[in-house]
A and B are shown apart, each in its own frame.
Chain A
C-alpha cells in the first residue's frame, strides 16, 4: 500500500480465486466437496472478523454472538414462523446489524484488554440467553430446519439447498460477494481510515476523523458479515445450536485470521481451510506417530498455533506479502 493502487491486479487475483473455487466444485471428491462448502461459509465469518480485528485493530472475543445472531435470526424464523429462505436470511442480517450496533455502541467506549473482556462478557450473556429461552431454542440440543424448507424459489427457478452441488454454489456465491465487498472496503477511504485508527488512533483523530464513528461502522459491517455467515450456515446445513454461540466460536475466527494472515483479504479463507484440515487430520496423525499419548486434536492445533505465532506472527499471507508479494491487499 504505497500510494499506488493496483485495481486490476487486486480484482484479477480475487476473480481468479473465485473461478478456481467454481472449478473445484466439479473436481473435488465428495468428502472434500462438503468440506469446502462448509469452509467457505466459515471463511465469511472469518472475513467479517478480519475486518474489525485485522484492519481496524479491534480484538473482539465475542464474535460468536454475531455469527449466532444470524444463525438464530434465520433459524428461529424458519422453524417457528415458517419463513422462507430469503426472508429468514434477511432476518439474520437484521439481527446481526442491530446486535452489533448496540454492542459496538457500548463496547467501543473501551479499548485493548477491556474491549476483549467486554465483548466476551456480552457474548456470554447472549449464550446464556439461548438457554434461558430454551423453549424456543432448545439450547445445546438445538433445532433442525426441515429439508423441505431449505429451498429457494424465485423467478421460476427452484433451488434445493440441501443438494451438495447447489449448496456448494450457494456458499461460493456468498463467499464471493463478501470477498469482493471486503476488497472494496479495504481499498476505500473508509478502509484506509480503519488502518490509520489501528496504527495511531490519536493521530487519526487529529487529522479530523471521528474515530468512534468509524469504529462503530466497522463493528456493524463486521457484525453483519458474520451474521450473514451464521444465517447461511443455518440455511445450508440445517442445524442451529447453542454451541455456535460458545466462547469456542469467538476464538476460532481469531485463530483462522491469525493463521491465514490478519489484514489480508485472502487470509481468512486460507486460515479457515488449513485449520479445518489440520484438526481433521491431526487425529489420525497423532495415533500414527504418538500411539498411546492420547493427545486431543485441539492440543495439536494449540501447539501449531504457538509455533505459528512465534515464527510467522503475520500469518501465512502476511508473511507472503512482507517477503515476496508487496502488492497483496
Chain B
C-alpha cells in the first residue's frame, strides 16, 4: 500500500451505452495535490469517465473511491458536498439568472455545509474576480459571450471550494489572452486542490499537467509525465499525430 492514499481512484470502471463501451475497464488514480490531464480523441470516453467520478451517471461496473472511501453508490449531490466539483463541457449555467446569482448558489452550498465561512457576497466576488468576471456580476448569464459563460462555469466550480476540481475542456471558446489567465488561475487553484482537466489544447496541457492519462476507445492507452507522453508512439498514432 502506498504511503499516501490517492484522492480519487477507480478500479475496473465501465460504462456501456447499449453495445457501446464508452468507458471500458479503467483503473486510475490521482494523488492529492496533483494536476492530472486526461486527453484523447473525440469520443474516447473522457466526459463519460469524469461523469462517473462526479456521479452524474452510474457505472455499469467497477468502483470509485474518494480519499480512501468508496463513493460508487453515493448520489452526485453528496459527492459535491464531499468536495468533488465538476464543470460541464457543454456549458450549463443558469441562463436566466445573473452571473452573481449563479455563483451565489455555489457559495450558499459551501456555507450551508460549513466548508466555507464568511459572507455570501465575499465568496461570490472572490470567485468572480478570480475568473475575471467581477465587472459583469449583474449581467444575465445567458447574455454573456460563450467564453465568459465557460468562465462562469469555472467560477461556480471554484466557489464550491472543491478538493477535486474536474474541468471538462474549460478553454474551449476562450481567446488567447483568456487562456493565459486561465492557466495562471488553475496553477493558483492547484495549490489547494487537486485538479483533473480534460483538454484538447496541448500547450495548456503541457503547461499545467503533472501527469497525463491518455484515453482511447474507453481504455487507458498511456499514462505518464508530459515528456513521456509526448514521446509515446502509440499516443502519437492515436491522438497527437491527428490533432496537434
Q: Which A residues are closer than 8 A to B by beta carbons?
A: 1-3, 189, 192-193, 195-196, 199-200, 202-211
**Which residue on chain A has the smallest CB distance to residue B96?**
A199
Q: Of the candidates A3, A189, A207, A210, which one forms a contact with B106 in the assembled complex, judged by CB atoms under 8 Å apart?
A: A207
- Measured between beta carbons, the chain B residues less than 8 angstroms from A199 are 94-97
Identify the interface centre among B108, B121, B156: most chain A CB within 10 Å of its CB.
B108
User: Bound complex: CA of A204 vs CA of B160, how far in Å?
Assistant: 12
* Cβ–Cβ contact B124 & A203, under 8 A: no
In the complex, what residues of A have CB within 8 A of residue B54's CB?
206
Contact digits for B153-187, partner A, Cβ 8 Å, 1 yes 0 no: 00010001000000000000000000000000000
Contact of B156 among A2, A189, A207, A211 (CB under 8 A): A207
Alpha-carbon distance A227/B227, docked complex (angstroms)? 68
Pair A208/B97 contact, Cβ less than 8 Å: no
Q: Which listed residue (A189, A192, A207) contacts B80, Cβ 8 A?
A: A207
**A3 and B156 within 8 A (CB):** no
Q: Tell me if B100 is interfacial: C-beta within 8 Å of chain A.
A: yes
CA distance A291 to B98 in the complex (A): 52
Asked whether B124 lies within 8 Å of A208 as measured between CB atoms, the reply is: no
- B77 with A208: CB separation less than 8 A: yes
B137 part of interface (Cβ distance < 8 Å):
yes
The chain B residue with its CB closest to the CB of A199 is B94
Contact A2 B80 (CB under 8 A): no
**Contact (Cβ within 8 A) A3 B76:** no
- 19 A-B pairs with C-beta separation under 8 A: A1-B98, A2-B98, A2-B101, A3-B138, A189-B108, A195-B97, A196-B94, A199-B97, A203-B92, A204-B105, A205-B77, A206-B54, A206-B76, A206-B77, A206-B80, A206-B85, A208-B80, A208-B81, A208-B160
Asked if residues A206 and B101 are in contact (CB atoms below 8 Å), the reply is: no
Measured CB to CB, the residues of B under 8 A from A are 54, 56, 75-77, 80-81, 85-86, 88, 92-98, 100-101, 104-106, 108-109, 112-113, 121, 124, 137-138, 156, 160
Q: Which 10 A-B pairs have the closest CB atoms?
A: A208-B80, A3-B100, A208-B109, A199-B94, A2-B98, A208-B81, A203-B92, A210-B77, A208-B77, A2-B138
Which of the residues A1, A202, A208 comes within 8 Å of B92, measured between beta carbons? A202
* Alpha-carbon distance A211/B108, docked complex (angstroms): 15
Q: Are B56 and A202 in contact (CB under 8 A)?
A: yes
State A193–B106 Cα separation when bound (angstroms).
10
Give the residue name and chain of the B residue nearest to A209 (CB). Answer: B77
Q: How far is the CA of A210 from the CA of B79 in the complex (A)?
A: 11
- Which residue of the partner chain, among B86, B100, B104, contacts A206 with CB atoms under 8 Å? B86
Interface contact A3-B77, CB-CB below 8 Å: no
CB distance from B78 to the nearest CB of A (A): 8
Is the beta-carbon distance between A3 and B160 smaller than 8 angstroms?
A: no
Flag if A3 contacts B92 (CB, 8 Å).
no
Q: Are A196 and B105 in contact (CB under 8 A)?
A: yes
A210 to B109, CA, bound (A): 11
Give Cα A208 to B101, complex, Å: 16
Chain A residues near B97 (CB-CB < 8 A): 1, 195-196, 199
Cα–Cα distance between A210 and B81 once the two chains are bound (Å): 10
Residues of B within 8 A of A210 (CB): 75, 77
By the criterion CB–CB under 8 Å, are A208 and B94 in contact? no
Closest to B139 in A: A2
Interchain CA distance A210-B96 in the complex, whole Å: 21
CB distance from A196 to the nearest CB of B (A): 5
Task: Please measure, in the bound complex, the distance between the C-alpha atom of A192 and the C-alpha atom of B76, giving whole angstroms.
Answer: 20
On whether the beta carbons of A192 and B105 are closer than 8 Å, the reply is yes
Cβ of B108: which chain A residues have Cβ within 8 Å of it? 189, 192-193
Most buried by A among B92, B95, B101, B113: B101
Q: Chain A residue with minimal CB distance to B138?
A: A2
